[in-house]
């Protein structure tokens, strides 16, 4: 994408009512429509969705394929896709607006900052869909299922809240299982190292992101872990 095209899309995204941004990662505050400052922590359902439906996050959402598809399938839930890349969020947010969907929004920020934007027990579920596996051991703490990030999720999930990981990377899959087995308060609900080799455990797993389609074309197997924190 050319710089001119990217700047145009960023300017257009300021007019999207379903996009919230943290423009300065050193100062965790949010802006909304037309760059106006907004306070959403603990108030997402009240201030944006105007209902009390369960709130679900898609982390490292990319183009927001999962948020979009889940929102279509489950109008009784609210979804927020979170990513640091504005150009990717633009695509998902525009698709949601064009479809007239009211239960999907997007948040541009670093995932390690989400505690600044969600209150304790505000989130019912978290989806982590094909995140960067950070294969070098020296970068393990950047993996979205590392103990560092699990501590973040603990603070915002409701009791018995569910976390889903969908990945093609065997190292991230095995790493996640190891971290969960070593965490006393984590309970693995389901794990599968090849979800398409049998009947799907959950029909929502049939949703395919841009990256998953590419991985399947390369004959990679798709892995899935569902877990929760015990309370």
**Model pLDDT for residues 99-145, shown as the tens digit of each residue:** 999 999 999 999 999 999 999 999 999 999 999 999 999 999 999 99
Angstrom distance (rounded) from CA 177 to CA 20: 33
Burial (CB count within 10 angstroms: exposed 0-12, middle 13-18, buried 19+), residue 206: exposed
**Model pLDDT for residues 180-197, shown as the tens digit of each residue:** 999 999 999 999 999 999
Q: Which domains does the chain have, with CATH numbers?
A: 39-229 (3.40.50.150)
Q: Is there a contact between 136 and 199 (Cβ–Cβ < 8 Å)?
A: no
Q: Which of 83, 98, 132, 151 is catalytic?
A: 132
Angstrom distance (rounded) from CA 110 to CA 166: 20
The tokens for 212 are 């998953």
Q: Is 132 a catalytic residue?
A: yes
Residue 216 has pLDDT above 70, yes or no: yes
Q: Work out the pLDDT band at 201, boundaries 50, 70, 90.
A: very high
Which helix (H) or strand (E) element contains residue 21? Answer: strand 19-21
Angstrom distance (rounded) from CA 41 to CA 18: 16
Cα 99 to chain centroid, rounded: 20
**If you average pLDDT over residues 190-212, what whole number do you get?**
95
Q: What confidence score (pLDDT) does residue 1 get?
A: 52
Q: Work out the pLDDT band at 231, boundaries 50, 70, 90.
A: confident
**How far separated are the first and last CA of the chain, in Å rounded?**
46
The neighbour count for residue 52, using CB atoms within 10 Å, is 9
Q: Is there a contact between 225 and 191 (Cβ–Cβ < 8 Å)?
A: yes
């Amino acid at each position: 994408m050319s710089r001119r095209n990217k700047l145009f899309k960023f300017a257009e995204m300021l007019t999207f009512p379903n996009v919230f941004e943290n423009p300065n990662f050193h100062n965790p505050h949010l802006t909304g429509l037309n760059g106006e400052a907004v306070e959403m922590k603990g108030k997402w359902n009240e201030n944006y969705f105007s209902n009390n439906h369960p709130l679900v996050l898609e982390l490292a959402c990319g183009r927001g394929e999962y948020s979009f598809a889940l929102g279509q399938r489950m109008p009784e839930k609210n979804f927020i896709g979170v990513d640091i890349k504005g150009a990717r969020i633009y695509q998902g947010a525009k698709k949601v607006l064009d479809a007239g969907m009211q239960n999907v929004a997007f948040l541009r920020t670093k995932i390690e900052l989400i505690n600044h934007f969600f209150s304790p027990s505000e989130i019912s579920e978290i989806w982590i869909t094909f995140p960067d596996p950070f294969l070098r051991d020296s970068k393990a703490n950047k993996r979205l299922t590392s103990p560092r990030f699990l501590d973040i999720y603990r603070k915002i999930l409701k009791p018995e809240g569910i976390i889903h990981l969908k990945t093609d990377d065997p190292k991230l899959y095995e790493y996640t299982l190891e971290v969960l087995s070593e965490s006393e308060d984590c309970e693995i609900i389901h794990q599968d190292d090849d979800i398409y080799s049998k009947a799907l455990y959950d029909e929502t797993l049939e949703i395919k992101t841009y990256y998953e389609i590419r991985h399947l074309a390369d004959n990679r197997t798709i892995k899935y872990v569902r877990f929760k924190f015990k309370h």
